[in-house]
Structure formats: structure tokens, C-alpha cells
Structure 1
């Protein structure tokens, strides 16, 4: 009887490890998913208008524009946050001076990149991953949005 209890406990422990491992792996969205989300966001701005699109990006009704750890964020070229899918409290704030832990002004860097190229990848920069509570490398795909703005989605690329 004791031996079967040990096997059962070992089996349950092993199953718990196996079941939890894919959850962490599935948390990260891919660069391809980030790029597609930006393109879908740009299309929504063109079809529905900036105001409706920004509301969808920030509130993501029915799961729109939020998948795994991917979400849309929008800034104007002055650094004002117009939409933020992970933290709505950022909307309306000017974050042009925000820096990562290495002193990299990444919002300004993204803006400069979009001004120069209209679209592309910016990074890597270090950003706090709320799922792991640690700083991880991240890069963001951005495209020019309505007027002087950019629509971006960041993807973690490891530590």
C-alpha cells in the first residue's frame, strides 16, 4: 500500500511539472505574432478611426489585441501614450524620457526609428516581465499610425 502511494505521489508531481511547463512556454508571444498584431492594429485605425482603435487596444474587448504577453501600445511623436493594452493608467502620460535599467530611452528610440523608417524592429531593451518579475530582453515592432504616432507590440526575447 505504501509503495503505490509513493508511485501516485511521484506521478502527480511529474504530471504537475509537465502541465505547468507548457504554461510558461506559452506565455511568450512570438515576433511574428507581434508583427501581425501591429499590422492588424494599423488596419483597425484605418477602418474604424484612431479613437475607436485606441479604445480597443487599451480595453481589448473579447480578447482583441491581447494575446499571451503581447499587447498594443501607441505613442505620439512627442512621447504621449495614446493607448496601452497592459496598463491603462499610462494613457495620457508623457513617457518620452522613460529608460530601461541600462539607461536606454526606449520610447524615444522607437519614435526616432519610426520617424526615420516608418516601420521596423526596435531593441533589444530591458523590460520588466510581470510573469517572471525580472528584467528580460524585449524588442518591439512598430509602424507609423494615425498622424504623427506609432503603433507597437513588444516581444520578449530572453534574459
Structure 2
């Protein structure tokens, strides 16, 4: 009986350690506060360094504007993607008619950016580039001159 108890305790310990290791390996999901902070950091970078340098920095897959499932994107008000930290294929394309489920997120981002406040959140479903699953996403948008900058968090 004592030997069985030892084996069960060892198995429980091994299972606990395996679960802890797997939780550490899972990518940390970005928070709303981190998304807002990243948009503000991107806006400051754009203002200090100019559009060309900012676009390069926002599109750099190893750069400071991509952190886990958080990434910066930047659009003109006609819907053209200038930067997209997770999908370089979007850059340079007009995505005004891009549909996500039943909504047109780029159109909604532009509405938010053009609103009197120039900032806001929009929720929709979007593929998570890390998990590859379609997930609920809330994106924070901020107007910066004649462009909008956004970062979204997955639920």
C-alpha cells in the first residue's frame, strides 16, 4: 500500500510539472492595456521618425512592434494597408472591402479614426496568427494624422 501511494504521488507530481511546463510554453495573450500602450508607442514612433521608417519598423517580424499575439497595423483612410505586423501580404493592398464574418473591420476602423474622439475599440472575429483558430478579437484604433494605427487582443 505504501509503494502504491509513492507511485501515485510521483505520477501526480509528474503530471503537475508537465502541466506547468505546457502552460509556460503557451503564448501569453496580450491585454487591452498592452494593446493601447503599443498603439501609443507606435504613434510616438511614427511622429518622431516619419512614415517610411515607421512602416519598416511596424512590418519587421522581429521588431519591437510585434509581441506574442499583439502586432501593430497601419491603414490610410481609403483602406490601404501601410503596415501589418502579422501578414506582409496585406501591405500595399486596399482592404476596405475585407469582410470578417458579417462585418467590414477596416471600414469600422476608419469610422473610429474619423470620429471626433479619433480613438475607440471594435470587436469582430479574426484568425489568430499564433493559434490559427478563428477567435473573438477586440482592436484598439487611434488616429494619427492621416492614418490610423491599431492593435488587437484576442479573447
Select the structure of larger CA radius of gyration: 2
Query: Is this contact kept in 2: 1:109–1:122, CA < 8 A?
Result: no
SS of the residue 1:126 aligns to: strand
Cα distance change on mapping 1:119 and 1:10 into 2, 3 Å = same
Alignment of 1:110-149 (within 5 A): 110-146=109-145, 148-149=146-147
Structure 1 unmatched ranges of 5 or more: none
Match of 1:30 in 2: 31
Q: CA deviation at 1:42?
A: 0.6
**TM-score (norm: length of structure 2):** 0.87
For residues 48 and 60 of structure 1, do their structure 2 counterparts lie closer, same or farther at Cα, with a shift above 3 Å needed? farther
**TM-score, normalising length: structure 1:** 0.85
What does residue 85 of structure 1 align with?
Answer: 85
Superposition RMSD in Å: 2.0
The count of residues paired between Structure 1 and Structure 2 equals 152
Q: How far is 1:60 from its partner?
A: 4.7
Matched with 1:98 is 98
Q: 1:69 and 2:69 equivalent?
A: yes
For structure 2, the residue ranges without an aligned partner over 5 or more in a row are none
